[in-house]
Protein backbone atom coordinates (compact mmCIF):
# COMPACT_ATOMS: atom_id res chain seq x y z
CA UNK A 1 0.00 0.00 0.00
CA UNK A 2 1.28 3.44 -0.88
CA UNK A 3 1.76 6.12 1.76
CA UNK A 4 -0.70 8.97 1.26
CA UNK A 5 -0.26 10.94 4.48
CA UNK A 6 2.84 11.59 6.54
CA UNK A 7 3.07 13.90 9.54
CA UNK A 8 6.56 14.42 10.94
CA UNK A 9 6.96 16.00 14.41
CA UNK A 10 3.95 18.25 13.94
CA UNK A 11 3.43 20.97 16.54
CA UNK A 12 0.63 23.50 16.65
CA UNK A 13 0.53 26.56 18.88
CA UNK A 14 -1.95 29.36 19.44
CA UNK A 15 -1.48 32.64 21.24
CA UNK A 16 -3.71 33.94 24.01
CA UNK A 17 -2.43 37.47 24.44
CA UNK A 18 1.32 37.06 24.69
CA UNK A 19 1.12 33.50 26.00
CA UNK A 20 1.90 30.69 23.53
CA UNK A 21 -0.19 27.57 24.07
CA UNK A 22 0.96 24.42 22.28
CA UNK A 23 -1.97 22.11 21.53
CA UNK A 24 -0.16 19.48 19.44
CA UNK A 25 3.21 18.11 20.53
CA UNK A 26 5.54 16.36 18.06
CA UNK A 27 2.79 14.37 16.36
CA UNK A 28 4.01 11.62 14.01
CA UNK A 29 1.48 9.80 11.86
CA UNK A 30 1.60 7.79 8.64
CA UNK A 31 -1.47 6.60 6.77
CA UNK A 32 -1.42 4.26 3.78
CA UNK A 33 -3.86 3.90 0.95
CA UNK A 34 -6.89 1.80 1.88
CA UNK A 35 -6.56 2.19 5.64
CA UNK A 36 -9.47 2.82 7.99
CA UNK A 37 -7.96 4.82 10.85
CA UNK A 38 -9.68 6.20 13.92
CA UNK A 39 -8.17 9.03 15.96
CA UNK A 40 -9.71 8.58 19.41
CA UNK A 41 -9.65 11.13 22.20
CA UNK A 42 -11.76 13.10 24.67
CA UNK A 43 -12.91 16.69 24.29
CA UNK A 44 -9.97 19.11 24.44
CA UNK A 45 -7.42 16.48 23.48
CA UNK A 46 -6.37 18.13 20.20
CA UNK A 47 -8.65 16.08 17.91
CA UNK A 48 -10.10 19.09 16.12
CA UNK A 49 -6.67 20.65 15.63
CA UNK A 50 -5.19 17.52 14.05
CA UNK A 51 -8.31 17.13 11.89
CA UNK A 52 -7.96 20.70 10.63
CA UNK A 53 -4.33 20.08 9.67
CA UNK A 54 -5.10 16.75 7.97
CA UNK A 55 -7.94 18.45 6.07
CA UNK A 56 -5.78 21.41 4.97
CA UNK A 57 -8.00 23.80 6.95
CA UNK A 58 -4.99 24.85 9.03
CA UNK A 59 -1.21 24.50 8.87
CA UNK A 60 1.21 23.32 11.57
CA UNK A 61 3.41 25.71 13.53
CA UNK A 62 6.33 23.29 13.24
CA UNK A 63 6.98 20.00 11.51
CA UNK A 64 6.21 18.60 8.07
CA UNK A 65 2.94 17.44 6.58
CA UNK A 66 3.01 15.50 3.31
CA UNK A 67 -0.28 14.73 1.55
CA UNK A 68 -0.02 12.44 -1.47
CA UNK A 69 3.72 13.13 -1.39
CA UNK A 70 3.32 16.91 -1.56
CA UNK A 71 4.73 19.22 1.13
CA UNK A 72 1.73 21.23 2.38
CA UNK A 73 3.98 23.79 4.10
CA UNK A 74 4.63 25.58 0.82
CA UNK A 75 0.91 25.96 -0.01
CA UNK A 76 -0.85 29.33 0.05
CA UNK A 77 -4.60 29.67 0.71
CA UNK A 78 -5.53 29.05 -2.94
CA UNK A 79 -3.38 25.91 -3.12
CA UNK A 80 -4.78 24.66 0.20
CA UNK A 81 -8.34 25.15 -1.11
CA UNK A 82 -7.50 23.14 -4.24
CA UNK A 83 -5.92 20.41 -2.12
CA UNK A 84 -9.04 20.23 0.04
CA UNK A 85 -11.29 19.91 -2.99
CA UNK A 86 -9.16 17.26 -4.69
CA UNK A 87 -7.71 15.24 -1.82
CA UNK A 88 -10.21 15.43 1.07
CA UNK A 89 -13.85 14.48 1.38
CA UNK A 90 -15.32 15.90 4.60
CA UNK A 91 -18.10 14.34 6.68
CA UNK A 92 -19.21 16.40 9.68
CA UNK A 93 -21.25 15.62 12.78
CA UNK A 94 -23.89 18.23 11.89
CA UNK A 95 -24.21 17.10 8.21
CA UNK A 96 -23.85 20.71 6.94
CA UNK A 97 -26.31 20.30 4.09
CA UNK A 98 -27.82 23.28 2.28
CA UNK A 99 -31.43 23.37 3.57
CA UNK A 100 -32.94 24.85 0.39
CA UNK A 101 -31.23 22.38 -1.95
CA UNK A 102 -32.30 18.83 -2.76
CA UNK A 103 -30.15 15.84 -1.86
CA UNK A 104 -29.00 15.71 -5.48
CA UNK A 105 -28.01 19.39 -5.51
CA UNK A 106 -26.16 19.01 -2.20
CA UNK A 107 -24.10 16.13 -3.58
CA UNK A 108 -23.41 18.05 -6.80
CA UNK A 109 -21.94 21.02 -4.93
CA UNK A 110 -18.26 19.95 -4.74
CA UNK A 111 -18.38 19.17 -8.46
CA UNK A 112 -19.60 22.72 -9.13
CA UNK A 113 -16.48 24.03 -7.35
CA UNK A 114 -14.37 21.58 -9.34
CA UNK A 115 -15.74 22.93 -12.63
CA UNK A 116 -17.44 19.69 -13.72
CA UNK A 117 -20.08 20.21 -16.48
CA UNK A 118 -23.74 20.13 -15.36
CA UNK A 119 -24.71 16.89 -17.06
CA UNK A 120 -21.78 14.98 -15.65
CA UNK A 121 -22.39 16.51 -12.20
CA UNK A 122 -25.96 15.23 -12.11
CA UNK A 123 -24.95 11.78 -13.32
CA UNK A 124 -22.14 11.40 -10.77
CA UNK A 125 -24.23 12.78 -7.90
CA UNK A 126 -27.17 10.48 -8.72
CA UNK A 127 -24.84 7.48 -8.94
CA UNK A 128 -23.33 8.29 -5.55
CA UNK A 129 -26.76 8.68 -3.91
CA UNK A 130 -27.70 5.26 -5.32
CA UNK A 131 -24.49 3.91 -3.79
CA UNK A 132 -25.40 5.10 -0.29
CA UNK A 133 -28.96 3.75 -0.59
CA UNK A 134 -30.80 6.99 -1.34
CA UNK A 135 -31.67 6.57 -5.00
CA UNK A 136 -35.34 7.18 -4.15
CA UNK A 137 -34.63 10.34 -2.12
CA UNK A 138 -32.70 12.45 -4.62
CA UNK A 139 -35.36 15.17 -4.90
CA UNK A 140 -35.97 15.38 -1.16
CA UNK A 141 -34.78 18.37 0.86
CA UNK A 142 -32.82 17.87 4.10
CA UNK A 143 -35.88 18.60 6.29
CA UNK A 144 -37.66 15.72 4.51
CA UNK A 145 -34.93 13.25 5.48
CA UNK A 146 -34.09 11.49 8.74
CA UNK A 147 -30.78 12.16 10.49
CA UNK A 148 -29.31 8.95 9.14
CA UNK A 149 -30.42 9.80 5.60
CA UNK A 150 -28.95 13.30 5.90
CA UNK A 151 -25.61 11.82 6.94
CA UNK A 152 -25.74 9.46 3.95
CA UNK A 153 -26.26 12.48 1.70
CA UNK A 154 -23.23 14.10 3.37
CA UNK A 155 -21.18 10.94 2.79
CA UNK A 156 -22.24 10.86 -0.88
CA UNK A 157 -21.22 14.53 -1.18
CA UNK A 158 -17.83 13.75 0.37
CA UNK A 159 -17.23 10.84 -2.00
CA UNK A 160 -18.48 12.33 -5.27
CA UNK A 161 -15.13 13.98 -6.09
CA UNK A 162 -13.35 10.63 -5.52
CA UNK A 163 -11.04 12.11 -2.85
CA UNK A 164 -7.83 10.51 -1.64
CA UNK A 165 -9.08 10.57 1.96
CA UNK A 166 -12.55 10.49 3.47
CA UNK A 167 -12.18 12.58 6.65
CA UNK A 168 -15.03 12.11 9.12
CA UNK A 169 -15.43 14.25 12.24
CA UNK A 170 -17.68 12.59 14.86
CA UNK A 171 -19.86 11.22 12.02
CA UNK A 172 -22.39 9.58 14.37
CA UNK A 173 -22.46 12.32 17.00
CA UNK A 174 -25.91 13.60 16.03
CA UNK A 175 -27.45 10.15 15.53
CA UNK A 176 -29.03 7.55 17.81
CA UNK A 177 -27.04 4.37 18.38
CA UNK A 178 -28.88 2.17 15.85
CA UNK A 179 -28.65 4.78 13.08
CA UNK A 180 -25.03 5.48 13.99
CA UNK A 181 -24.17 1.80 13.64
CA UNK A 182 -25.83 1.74 10.21
CA UNK A 183 -23.70 4.71 9.12
CA UNK A 184 -20.58 2.97 10.41
CA UNK A 185 -21.48 -0.16 8.44
CA UNK A 186 -21.64 2.05 5.35
CA UNK A 187 -18.15 3.35 6.18
CA UNK A 188 -16.94 -0.25 6.42
CA UNK A 189 -18.37 -0.99 2.97
CA UNK A 190 -16.73 2.12 1.52
CA UNK A 191 -13.39 1.14 3.04
CA UNK A 192 -13.68 -2.42 1.72
CA UNK A 193 -13.97 -0.92 -1.76
CA UNK A 194 -10.54 0.65 -1.24
CA UNK A 195 -11.33 4.14 0.06
CA UNK A 196 -9.03 5.52 2.76
CA UNK A 197 -10.94 6.73 5.81
CA UNK A 198 -9.70 8.79 8.75
CA UNK A 199 -12.29 9.22 11.49
CA UNK A 200 -12.08 11.57 14.46
CA UNK A 201 -14.14 10.46 17.47
CA UNK A 202 -14.44 10.45 21.25
CA UNK A 203 -16.58 7.29 21.19
CA UNK A 204 -14.70 4.03 21.88
CA UNK A 205 -17.52 1.91 20.41
CA UNK A 206 -17.48 3.86 17.15
CA UNK A 207 -13.67 3.84 16.99
CA UNK A 208 -13.74 0.02 17.02
CA UNK A 209 -15.17 -0.02 13.49
CA UNK A 210 -11.77 1.18 12.23
CA UNK A 211 -9.01 -1.30 11.43
CA UNK A 212 -6.47 0.83 13.32
CA UNK A 213 -6.92 3.15 16.28
CA UNK A 214 -4.54 5.85 17.50
CA UNK A 215 -5.14 7.81 20.69
CA UNK A 216 -4.75 11.52 21.27
CA UNK A 217 -4.58 13.04 24.74
CA UNK A 218 -3.38 16.50 25.73
CA UNK A 219 -1.95 16.98 22.24
CA UNK A 220 0.12 13.78 22.22
CA UNK A 221 -0.64 11.04 19.69
CA UNK A 222 0.04 7.39 20.56
CA UNK A 223 -0.65 4.13 18.78
Domain range spanning residue 145?
A: 35-59+77-214
Is 70 domain-assigned?
no
Is 209 domain-assigned?
yes
CATH of the domain at 166: 3.40.50.300
Identify the H or E element spanning 80.
Answer: helix 77-87
Is 148 domain-assigned?
yes
Is 71 domain-assigned?
no
Question: How does pLDDT run along the chain (223 residues), one tens digit per residue?
Answer: 799 999 999 999 998 888 889 999 999 999 999 999 999 999 999 999 999 999 999 889 999 999 998 898 888 888 888 888 889 999 998 999 999 999 999 999 999 988 999 999 999 999 999 999 999 999 999 999 999 999 999 999 999 999 999 999 999 998 999 999 999 999 999 999 999 999 999 999 999 999 999 999 999 999 8
Is 4 domain-assigned?
no
Is 72 domain-assigned?
no
pTM: 0.93
Is 46 domain-assigned?
yes
**Neighbour-count burial of 61, counting CB atoms closer than 10 A to its CB (0-12 exposed, 13-18 middle, 19+ buried):** middle
Residue 183 · residue 133 · CB < 8 Å: no
Q: How many structural domains compose the chain?
A: 1
Is 106 domain-assigned?
yes
Amino acid sequence: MSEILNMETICKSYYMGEEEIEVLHNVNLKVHSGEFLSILGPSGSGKSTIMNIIGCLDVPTKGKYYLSGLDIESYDEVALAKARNKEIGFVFQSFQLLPKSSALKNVELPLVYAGVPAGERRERAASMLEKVGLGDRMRNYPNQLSGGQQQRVAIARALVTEPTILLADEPTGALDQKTGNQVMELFEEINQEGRTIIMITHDTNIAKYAKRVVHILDGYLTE
